[in-house]
């Protein structure tokens, strides 16, 4: 179940806010300038489906988001628990970093834990099937796909070449939750 927990950055033991209700999650994140949405589809998506059929299943919402935000490219990525490089990929985004572009992900299947560090607040967003999150450009954050990743996601980019991680050097991510799967 999708979930949001908000902590003060100096107290990872006790959240100040916690909810698994989509409307609450959306409202709280919106107040922090973060887009969170839940999308549905009538199409059935199976492992191994082509990127085209995955995009077609969510075409209406994709077109709306692109029109609102002006994203230039959209693609589909997936990772399975059998991937040989899963540990290396997991480590890459476990430390606090920023991007000069929005990081926009829609979970077609599987899950991932995005944690955003906004002012003195740390917001853990567990994204699962049907969830869209947009981490605004320049927002410190980290991402955990867990030790056994198994997801398929749609990504939106302003400029894929510009989408590189700039590490902040802050070790705060070590004090907050990891995803177990
Ligand atoms: Fe990132």
> What is the model's pLDDT at position 45?
87
- Residue 42 CA to ligand 1 centre (angstroms): 30
* The two three-digit tokens of residue 2, written as one number: 């999708």
- Residue 158 CA to ligand 1 centre (angstroms): 14
Strongest mean pLDDT among 5-14, 75-84, 159-168: 5-14
* Cα gap 98→78, rounded to integer Å: 22
**Is the pLDDT score of 141 beyond 80?**
yes
**Is the pLDDT score of 60 beyond 90?**
yes
Mean pLDDT, residues 81-91 taken together: 93
Strands (DSSP E) along the chain, which ranges? 3-8, 17-19, 35-38, 73-79, 97-98, 103-109, 112-118, 121-127, 131-135, 141-144, 151-157, 166-167
- Residue 12 CA to ligand 1 centre (angstroms): 21
Q: How far is CA 164 from CA 32, 48, 97, 117, in A?
A: 23, 28, 9, 18
> What is the model's pLDDT at position 162?
67
Mean pLDDT, residues 133-140 taken together: 97
- Residue 16 CA to ligand 1 centre (angstroms): 24
Mean pLDDT, residues 17-22 taken together: 98
């Amino acid at each position: 179940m999708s979930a949001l927990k908000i902590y003060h950055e100096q107290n990872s033991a006790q959240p100040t806010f916690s909810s698994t209700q989509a409307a609450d999650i959306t409202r709280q994140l919106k107040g922090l300038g973060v887009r969170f949405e839940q999308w549905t589809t009538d199409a059935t998506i199976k492992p191994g489906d082509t990127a085209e059929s995955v995009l077609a299943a969510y075409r209406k919402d994709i077109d709306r988001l692109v029109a609102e935000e002006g994203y230039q490219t959209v693609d589909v990525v997936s990772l399975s628990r059998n991937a040989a490089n899963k540990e290396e990929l997991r480590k890459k985004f476990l430390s606090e970093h920023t991007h000069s572009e929005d990081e926009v992900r829609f979970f077609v299947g599987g899950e991932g834990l995005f944690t955003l560090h906004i002012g003195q607040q740390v917001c853990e967003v567990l994204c699962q099937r049907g969830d869209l999150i947009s981490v605004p450009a320049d927002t410190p954050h980290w991402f955990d796909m867990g030790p056994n990743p198994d997801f398929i996601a749609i990504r939106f980019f302003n400029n894929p070449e510009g989408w590189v991680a700039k590490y902040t050097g802050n070790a705060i991510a070590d004090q907050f939750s990891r995803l177990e799967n």
